[in-house]
Structure 1
Amino acid sequence: MADVRNVEALQGRQSLQFVENCVKSSASSSREKCEECFSLYDVDSDGYLSRDEFLNLCKDVFVKCNEDEQSLTTLVDHMLKLLDTDQDGRLSKEEFKICWCYWLKQVLEPVSALVIVDVQNDFLEGSLSLSQCPAGQCGLPVIPVINNMLDNVQFDVVVYSKDWHPKDHISFLENVNIRPLHPSSKVKSEEAKPFDTVVFDTSPLTEQVLWPAHCIQGSWGAELHKNLKVVDNGYVVNKGTSPHVDSYSAFWDNNKLSQTELVQLLSKLRVTDVYVCGLAYDICVGFTARHAIDHGFRTVLVEDACRGVDLENIEKTRFELRKKGAVVVQSDQVGDMVDGKLRAAELGVQAAVNVNVALKLLKTGRV
């Protein structure tokens, strides 16, 4: 007698292959293929995908990454709630058509970008070397990990971010005296030390961690490390270029007053999935990943390609990113994720969030 589990696994692979082929079919046959896919999972032929029928679809689509059976079920329930526009606990054919065009497209045909954050000389061997920070983590080991991904993973887009500070930048300890501090600042300028936090009397008030001068525009310290592979078709995004506000994120400054060109670049290139790595885990990498999620990108943090400043903040960053919907993986999983051999259900939730937000905007006439 055949092993039932093996038969179910084979059926799942066959169903998934059918769904993938349908999604990749030409636009002219898309409607027909959508109906075929719907019928495949509408086992009782009642014209709806029940919660259990939708769960079966998701079990085929989401190839186990980190989640167990129980967490997968929870994530699927979350996706169904987001995609079920009339909230009757099931998907009608009309609702499934929206899933087909927008949700499954993101899941089965993602466009991936690797965003390499601030792998610069000053953070590795210069004035703000991570090895001198509280966590004592040397940043150099991230370079071979990142290079290996660049050599072996077929990312659609590669972006390098760089701190690119003017000499009078607000984050430099050496400049603490050139701007007035607000009375609420617990640290006075004459007492300030590296890694202290002060509050500048600016509009808006600016809370700022003080760092040794680093990554000054045009300096050796601001350049990408010589051992980091720079691909020919890669993009470079400079951040922290204003003297008056720091920019941890490769998307926004810390006061969210201005943004870099990164979101426009990724949107223009139709990127759906952003893989984030680099320096420092709990500062610029973490902020970049948070903002990637905020912009609707399905976000993956490549943990062994990161090093950080403070061990407690590294743990906090990991927890917060997972809570927001990011997936935290090791670099040896990335190739299979980009190739579709691994599909994390958490990223399916982000795809469903994107569809839900878009539908709400359409309903209110804001797009």
Structure 2
Amino acid sequence: MTTTATAATADTVDVAASARRRSVELEQQIQQNPGRFRVMTGDRPTGPLHLGHYFGTLHNRVRLQDLGMDVFVIIADYQVLTDRDVADRLIEHMEGMLLDYLAIGIDPARSTVFNHSAVPALNQLMLPFLSLVSVAELNRNPTVKDEIAHSRQSAVSGLMFTYPVHQAADILFCKGNLVPVGQDQLPHLEVTRTVARRFNERYGAVFPEPDALLSAAPLLLGTDGTKMSKSRGNSIALGATADETARLIKGAKTDAERYITYDPENRPGVSSLVLLAALCMDRDPHAVAEEIGGGGATALKRTVTEAVNSRMAPIRARRAEYARDMGYVRSVLRAGNERANEIAAATLDEVRGVMGGGI
């Protein structure tokens, strides 16, 4: 490894360690005064949300909402195009996402759900924000580099490089000051903090510098033993039936060793299944593995199937109930878009004012 690469890795480790320490402080502040935070989070509608999303981010959004925070959830339809040529089945994916949000407990009375393309003023903020970062800074973003490396396109569009700045507009349009993220998204949030800081220095104090709230959720692998992903066909969708869940878990990758242990480093496939069962049952994964013991992969998969179907049953029931009234589901998005538009228009007016009407 070169000296430059070593330094970059060290910087990444330092940023992550600092974010973890800050997240501990933030959790304490959240308990003391949740009303001072405005949360911004969301998803790209590229396919069905799955169990990895649920345990990684979705249930935490409901927690923050229930603590009394103002939560904004964006369905990032424009950002679907960052790593693909067309937005396939966009309406279907957006409505499925809405159903999942409502089913897990996102409350439209306390959280604002909206989509990119319905809020023009938000997207217009991207132009002045782009003037605050250099091409070199965007090129150095390690998350963008990784996303480009795993892109399904032979040639990556300029939209991929501007993706972090578009995310800055997502966060800052509503003056969000808390962003729940995984560690891999920290470079994107640093771009947002940079944009806010430079805008304030150049034009006057308008935007907060948002903090990252790191998730403590462990990584769940897909049924093939690789990263769980909507695009890889290795996930269990929140909207899956009990039978579909059983079939997918039955085909999950394990190993040749019969005795079940929880050892993520040496037995990733087996351990991810143990962890999934433990999360669904709110139990320690070591205890779950010990209980299965010599039952082997068959007993493990049976335990996981029962745990997942039990945990997801009420969510699936609520999802089916909402699906019978899509008029209401669509009205949730319309109301969210209306509120987001009001806030974005006010922010854009404020930005124009401090910039001297220059945009």
TM-score by length of 1: 0.29
Structure with bigger gyration radius: 1
